Every structure is written in structure tokens, then in C-alpha cells.
Amino acid sequence: MKIIHLLFFMILGFCDIKAQISEQTNFQVALSDPTTKPFFNQHSNVDYITITYEENKAGWLSVYLQNSLKNKTVKPNELYMMSFEGDAYLFKRKYPQLILPKSAALKVKSIPGIKDLGDKNIQYQLVTTLRRDSTFYDFMFYTYTGKLYPGPPNARGRAAFKGDVDDFQKRFTVAFREWKPIAVSDSVLFISGIAEKNGSLSNVKLETTKQSLFSKKCLEFIEREAITWWPAVHTGRKVSHPVKLFVRLNKDDSITFSAW
């Protein structure tokens, strides 16, 4: 449980939290589960994998290799934010055999000593740990006062794209179809940039593959259209912060865009 708690607060460390958080209860359920054994047989260097779920969706996914505890560290060897399409793509490409379990449902109805639980600011945390022959579910429940995260809910103190992602993808798709015919040899692009404290995007550049006409046009489109951002917040102040962007050209000529 100590590792799970450290993982939980390490994740919160990515956020600029203003609330007072009080853990109320936590417990672990361990189940025999041989379904992941073929995966661990194929990836013998992997010791275990933890997945943090929030609002029934996978968030941080951590991969710990066999030598992690021997080196007296509980920091993950590989860390993926699964809500970011770029990290999800990299994880699935490296570990295509692993099917992530769905989030287990849990809701606390009452706790001795806490009245009117439904009126409290409450938060649930589920961390699922996959091992060779078993699956562990760590449930944590806590209450908080004040504002848990500054800025929009999806940002949690980080910089976040301010526009509507679905609308942006549609406009991106329309633009791509106007570029045709265009040769595409790099249908997946990883791009970086800086979300400035004034909400603008700067220093947009390609991080993978050599620049092509397709990637050049994608960069130009992002620089022209992805211009409004929620700035990151640190110790109550807006700050410039690096962001990762992911662009994928799908088989139906639509564009997937994701930012983190």
C-alpha cells in the first residue's frame, strides 16, 4: 500500500492544488488473475504495471521493471498519460498484447463520524496493479475543502488547449482534404510547443521524423489555428509551460489531434 500511496501523491504533485485534502478510507482487493500471464511471459523484464483511474477512465499508467525495487526506487521506469493520444499510441505500439482492464465501480455511502456525506467535496481514486498471476485494486476515498484544482477541470494546473477539440479536429480534417493530393509518409506526428502565460502557443516544432510537406502543413495549421490555451498555474501564478501535441492521419482521411 505504501507504493500506491506514494504513486497517488506523486500524481497529485503534477498539479497545483489549493484544497485541503483529507483521506478518509482506503482498502485493497486482490484477485487471482492468470489472464495477464502471457503478457508477462513475453515481457519478462516487466515486474508490474499500475493504472490510475479517474472518472472511470485510465489516467497515469506506470510500468515498473524487474530491477525497480532492487535499486530501492518506487519511481516508474516508464510513465504514460493514457488520456493523451500520443502516450496511448506509444504504449499500445510497445505493448500491443496487453488489454487494460475496465475501471472497477465503487461508491462510499457512509462513513462513521462523517455526516451528510453527499454534501461533501469528495474524490475517488482507483489504482489497479497488474502482476503475473494476480490483479490488485486499491481504492482510496478522500474529502477536500476549497478548490481541488485551479483552471479548467481537465487541466489540473497544467496548460490545456482552450478550444473545442472535436471542432478543431473537424477543421483540421477539412484543411487536410484541401491539401490533397499530397504524399504522406509520416501519418503520425509528435509535436512540442510552449503554452505561454498569456495563453498563446509558441516554439512549435516537430519532434519525430524528418519534416515532409504533410508535417510542414500540419505545423503551419497548428501555429495558425491552435492559438488559445489555458496557461499552466504554479503557486497561484500563470507560467509558461511545455506542451506535447499528437497528430494522426486516419485511414478515412480524418485527423486526430490531442494535447498534453
Hunting for cell 498569456 — which residue is that? 198
Half-sphere exposure of 96 (CA within 13 A, CB side): 1
pLDDT by residue, tens only, the chain of 260 residues: 444 544 444 444 444 445 566 666 677 888 888 888 999 999 999 999 999 987 778 889 999 998 765 555 578 899 999 999 999 999 999 999 898 888 777 666 666 666 665 555 667 778 999 999 999 998 887 776 665 554 554 456 789 998 899 999 999 999 999 998 888 888 999 999 999 999 999 999 999 778 899 999 999 999 999 999 999 888 878 999 999 999 999 999 999 999 99
Residues whose CB falls within 8 Å of the CB of residue 71, separated by 6 or more in sequence, listed in order = none
66: left (phi over 0), alpha (psi -120 to 50) or beta: alpha
Run of H or E residues at 64: strand 57-65
Q: CA 75 to CA 78: how far, in whole Å?
A: 9
> Which pLDDT score, from 0 to 100, does residue 107 have?
66
